[in-house]
Structure 1
């Protein structure tokens, strides 16, 4: 992938870092073989030609790589620095104009301007773009009405602005033509197809001679469609490397008609899936087109629907992660976003794969057999379950039919009591325009997963939930909440809660929910009530052994027994935003929390200076691999405590302050010359108040990536010793001083002179 290296104002982009823990993609980059010439043509259309606003169209069938080509051009260094403003948005057959304009506006302004409900976003966007050379990408336009709906928001002018669109429909591309001719994306040649297939199957190595002829036949019968090449790789890479097996694949492909090729190839990939992976994939088809599915939600939904069963319940999360990795590695699911350590945060389905899933789901009127997957149940069992998600059309029909489900044409089922689950992920398509969602929810007594975060529910929600005793996954946005209102949900695994008022979590009620695994509470203040007798008695054996993750905002720890976390012996992730600095150690015996590998701590800005002496009350659990620390005065003792974490791989420090250089000076220096972080691979400093940084080569012996963002103009130099860290391969800067960018480039130059190879990338947005 292309890389930008500059210290001038501009956006720098690069390939994602390479690391293997967690869920990762098999792809090392998103470049499709054979697009070099195409990318050059599109770039010339963007840069040269008329000074007036122009529209550049790329069209072709699904799976040709239109989006990949557009991305390759969009992220090219020359394009990045040529345009003042860039924005990318994906359309779908059904889209929300306001939502799209807000997304473009946020990218155009770097999300620096708050949008209010009463604002005219279209007019705000026009005013932002006037007088600038902008590039807007509209990915996957289906009809000309979409352009007529959005195009008026992109002002004319003689600044060389461009709008780039991708579409499957040639007539749409020709209708949108301004000055430049639409570009028809061609199929790959047989040579290009083989080059791509060989790269994917053998991970950059050459194909053995005994498989070469069979491999060439497989590539030839992919008929130039990159999607087919990648999907074929998804299952032949797992086959034995035998000529006869590869020739069988080639012969099957050769009999496919081009029009149905994608569907049949996906069917072939689907047929090769293990039985428990099939419902996992089809379930993803219920998400909207182009939806970026949060992995942490998807895995919890799979668990709730019992698609993935594991005899050892404590490994259910890991079993789900393995399933997603399998689907990623077979190229049936795409990566849409990753963390700095390359863990997949968002995933999505290619349009063709999603269309296949929907076809499978609609073959029997949205009835999917053998869901959840049961290893002791035949795949084609007659015990069927309905796959459905809440959306405006469904709510409208329910409203018209007085909520008599058997009268709704889109459902086509007789036994309404057979509904066991309803899949309605976070959607913008359900705007609650027609009725109270609770009127619908009460009809589904056997629902397992319920997501209601997009609409604040009335106070009657608790009464409605009394009948939903099978819930495993519950996400709510409510005005007020008490844990006792859902304590009857004995199967509940995931609770995601957003509320405006203070929440009192009574410990004795919590101990009743023995199957709870994941708790996430947003926005509200949380107070733990441990006053009930026996709840915080250290001799008590009450444990929530299944609890894996706990995240909450504005928690008050002042009235909490310091040993409350003992009740969660298998906790893996903990996130706390604390209103006050605790007067006791959060982990009194750190060695007890052996399972905790991810910790996020954020201190209220109002209590920042109270954290000066916090180190005496705080020691971290020893097995932490990921630590996020915000709003803390980072004295030497605290740094030493962090350095003692021998397994720590990623460290993020936000809005903190190191020690002063001296009491007489107001300069802050982070001196870690004699401190070593032995396993740290990823270091991120966000909005850190720092004037000087001192370190040695031994401070970060295995560091791979350094990210610095918005640290202020006084921070002017990265320690030169970073040039001697042989493992360092990426420095990413965002909104930093020009001199800091210069120091990063000096480190890169020193590395090249010392090693003779260009192994370090410098990327970012640099202020003048």
Structure 2
């Protein structure tokens, strides 16, 4: 049960912190804490090893798990309440606290005895299979990522391609209709990314509509994909979009359409210019498809052969087909999935990570109930996969229901919330962040998340959760009292994790509510109306115009995401020194208006539990001098991994000692050039991987930047306004052993000729040059960046020629040229065509060229004259 395991893991972490907190000394009876630790450790081991999904004991086990959850939650409430009281008023031990703690200890001890008896009665002390051990999880991490190849829909794919690229020339709407999980979005995505479609249409846009329909959100999404400003009213965005689509031949995909009203609203946005434009609508509702007055592309269930083929792809991805002894049972499992792709994928993903013992597969086959092919049947199959998840993954999986339907979810947000909520056990991993990464990867291998974006540093970058999978998350989370999502709550009784997607009801959040986690979606909530929720540990998406109110009185917070005057004029915001009383704050995110600043007190250096500090612009006071620091070396922020954006940050010896384990830094300098900032100390950060440096464009910064000593661990560097020369750049980072990505933004380099040197940038895989408008000649070939994979060039108006030799780099897969000079753009297209003609089919080029009507006509004429077309080339012309 997710709630029980999560409560135990969180309690275990707190008990450990009581004795090891780097700042506070808390007053507890040692024997009492040791007794609790013993019970918690036993119960965690019990939940990892006990299989409650088999036989008649399931109901009794679930009842016990519910009682374990409540006992662990009560114990954590008593302990954290006492800690907050100590911090607020210096209280030690009241008689009420002693009684409450003793009751919590007795309850946990009773749960331990009950669990021991149940384990003995089951006659099985053998730990069930789990992927939590380091060996199995590392193997998972090394597995080949699963593909999203369509299986069994080749004919439909070809039919849809014909409908999109054929006659008539008038605008045409094509609905794709079928039940949830049948593959509508996968089909649309495969078509959307098909090379014939990319070549045929001038503009391709994708918007997810979803059940929670917001016209402003959808317009903003579409306009942003056109690289235009997505701020403004609905009318302004609608006009901006409509005008942008009046000229080009466009393809619009409207995914997950739920009702006719939303469909009618959307149809008004897209002009019919007789250019062959197309609109694809995916929906599970037949009335939406019928409303369009055209026959839909109907998605049917997979036949027996294709179902088996898809299942084998997923269940036996690391083997050569299905073992003979499992084949009969495996085919029974596939048959019960009723040809539904999502069900086959999820069950296949589960079995891929499970035991290959025949009796286990027989149990899975018997567990899938026979229903007709509908959403309820799919939920039944999905819930089977949840039931057999390793217990440490269950809380992580259920928490994904906190994110809105169809939302693109950033992995960094998931990690922060998982860790803050105490859902992650570090175990044998080097850090809790690494443990969280392995949990997400495991969910991916089980096909429970849909990956949308990858990052070369961190792997999965963004993902989505299928509607039906999310529906299952919410259903189980509510049943297990793990998480509740409200539109507008009238009262909060037992709920500890609350997500509010609508308007807030202030009375529902009274101070005696048991809320531990409070998340707002679809908007920001005014914190000034929030009661003092003494034990609140996660507070997300809230707003305030003042830092002196109740926001920093929530002393138990582990996660805080707040807007400070986000909609008003630029201001200075002074954080109170009392913020250091937040004894376990780990994640601090502050959003402010442009040109505003947050001034942090010295006390922030005493917040030793901080892991990530993310502020749009923050000023930090220097920490204590060296002599004092040596006497107080316990005041070291060993957990801090990310810090941004710090203005005029002094890299003093004291700073280097305070944050020794920082991995990512984003710094901004706009003061007078001053050696006071200690640039040479940058090398002291011997775990630093990612560094962003922004300067105000003063050419005097060049000497400062070239004096920086970069640590050998650095992998990514982003520069802006630094004014260095190309030779400086080579000397600074060209020889770093792990350096893989270089981003050069506006005025980062101010020199007209770049002559790269051989034996430099030997590990560089990703190169971005944006707005370095002095660059005229770039004399590069395949020897200079031997392992380059992706190249992004933008706003280089003086660049005369794209270096054709770069196209010969064997590892190069992608080039993007955006709004550069006509000559460099044409030469890049010429390079691509030549490479494809020579058999290099893996290289792709995206071109965006902008100009007035005369410039665009001249450019098109040159392209046609030279025959610069290729399936691997995408060209978009934008009128300025």
TM-score with structure 2 setting the length: 0.72
Match for residue 16 of structure 1?
none
Match for residue 729 of structure 1?
813
Alignment of 1:239-318 (within 5 A): 239-242=354-357, 245-246=360-361, 248-253=363-368, 255=370, 257-259=372-374, 260-310=376-426, 315-318=431-434
Alignment of 1:146-185 (within 5 A): 146-177=262-293, 180-185=294-299
Does the CA contact (< 8 Å) of 2:498 and 2:519 recur in 1? yes
Q: Residues 223 and 488 of structure 1: is their aligned pair in 2 closer, same or farther, counting only changes over 3 Å?
A: same
Alignment of 1:252-401 (within 5 A): 252-253=367-368, 255=370, 257-259=372-374, 260-310=376-426, 315-339=431-455, 343-363=459-479, 386-393=496-503, 395=504, 398=505
Q: 1:515 and 2:609 equivalent?
A: yes
Report the RMSD for the aligned CA atoms in angstroms. 3.3
Q: 1:458 and 2:517 equivalent?
A: no
1:555-580 CA distance string (max 9 Å, x none): 024x6746523310111111112224
Q: Residues 122 and 753 of structure 1: is their aligned pair in 2 closer, same or farther, counting only changes over 3 Å?
A: closer
1:383-405 CA distance string (max 9 Å, x none): 97522113334x1xx25xxx155
Q: Secondary structure at the match of 1:353?
A: helix
1:667-726 CA distance string (max 9 Å, x none): x11111334223222223233332222335443333333333333352422251551x33
Does the CA contact (< 8 Å) of 1:58 and 1:184 recur in 2? yes
Match for residue 691 of structure 1?
776
Q: 1:762 and 2:844 equivalent?
A: yes
Q: Secondary structure at the match of 2:680?
A: coil
Which shifted more, 287-296 or 157-166?
157-166
Q: Secondary structure at the match of 2:227?
A: coil
Q: Distance in 2 between matches of 1:573 and 1:512?
A: 20
Alignment size in residue pairs: 690
Q: 1:677 and 2:761 equivalent?
A: yes
Match for residue 83 of structure 1?
201
Does the CA contact (< 8 Å) of 2:498 and 2:515 recur in 1? no
Give the C-alpha shift of residue 255 in structure 1: 3.8
Does the CA contact (< 8 Å) of 1:583 and 1:617 recur in 2? no
Q: 1:488 and 2:544 equivalent?
A: no
Q: 1:136 and 2:225 equivalent?
A: no
Q: Secondary structure at the match of 1:699?
A: coil
Q: 1:506 and 2:601 equivalent?
A: yes
Q: Distance in 2 between matches of 1:91 and 1:118?
A: 15
1:149-182 CA distance string (max 9 Å, x none): 33222234433332211111112211122xx411
Alignment of 1:12-27 (within 5 A): 27=145
Does the CA contact (< 8 Å) of 1:629 and 1:653 recur in 2? yes
Q: 5+ residue gaps in structure 1?
A: 1-19, 369-382, 407-414, 661-667
Q: Distance in 2 between matches of 1:160 and 1:62?
A: 30
Q: Distance in 1 between matches of 2:482 and 2:351?
A: 31
Match for residue 231 of structure 1?
346
Choose the corresponding residue for 2:700, options 607, 610, 614.
610
Q: Secondary structure at the match of 2:643?
A: strand
Alignment of 1:573-584 (within 5 A): 573-580=664-671, 581-583=673-675
1:310-350 CA distance string (max 9 Å, x none): 26897111111111111111111222323366732222211
Give the C-alpha shift of residue 257 in structure 1: 4.5
Q: Residues 294 and 230 of structure 1: is their aligned pair in 2 closer, same or farther, counting only changes over 3 Å?
A: same
Choose the corresponding residue for 1:594, options 669, 686, 689.
686
Match for residue 55 of structure 1?
173
Does the CA contact (< 8 Å) of 1:562 and 1:587 recur in 2? no
Give the C-alpha shift of residue 208 in structure 1: 5.4
Q: Secondary structure at the match of 1:388?
A: strand
TM-score with structure 1 setting the length: 0.82
Which shifted more, 349-358 or 415-424?
415-424
Match for residue 411 of structure 1?
none
Q: Residues 477 and 318 of structure 1: is their aligned pair in 2 closer, same or farther, counting only changes over 3 Å?
A: same
Q: Residues 536 and 517 of structure 1: is their aligned pair in 2 closer, same or farther, counting only changes over 3 Å?
A: farther
Give the C-alpha shift of residue 483 in structure 1: 4.5
Q: Residues 95 and 361 of structure 1: is their aligned pair in 2 closer, same or farther, counting only changes over 3 Å?
A: same
Give the C-alpha shift of residue 352 in structure 1: 0.6
Q: Distance in 2 between matches of 1:294 and 1:341?
A: 14
Match for residue 729 of structure 2?
638
Choose the corresponding residue for 1:528, options 603, 616, 620.
620
Q: Distance in 2 between matches of 1:225 and 1:118?
A: 38
Give the C-alpha shift of residue 240 in structure 1: 4.0
Give the C-alpha shift of residue 513 in structure 1: 0.9
Match for residue 99 of structure 2?
none
Match for residue 211 of structure 2?
93
Does the CA contact (< 8 Å) of 2:625 and 2:654 recur in 1? no
Match for residue 514 of structure 2?
418
Q: 1:448 and 2:562 equivalent?
A: no
Q: Secondary structure at the match of 2:607?
A: coil
Match for residue 658 of structure 2?
567
Q: Secondary structure at the match of 1:588?
A: helix
**Greater relative contact order (CA < 8 Å, ≥ 6 in sequence):** 1
Match for residue 307 of structure 2?
193
Match for residue 549 of structure 1?
642
1:454-480 CA distance string (max 9 Å, x none): x4x132x53313541110011121242
Q: Residues 49 and 251 of structure 1: is their aligned pair in 2 closer, same or farther, counting only changes over 3 Å?
A: farther
Does the CA contact (< 8 Å) of 1:652 and 1:684 recur in 2? yes
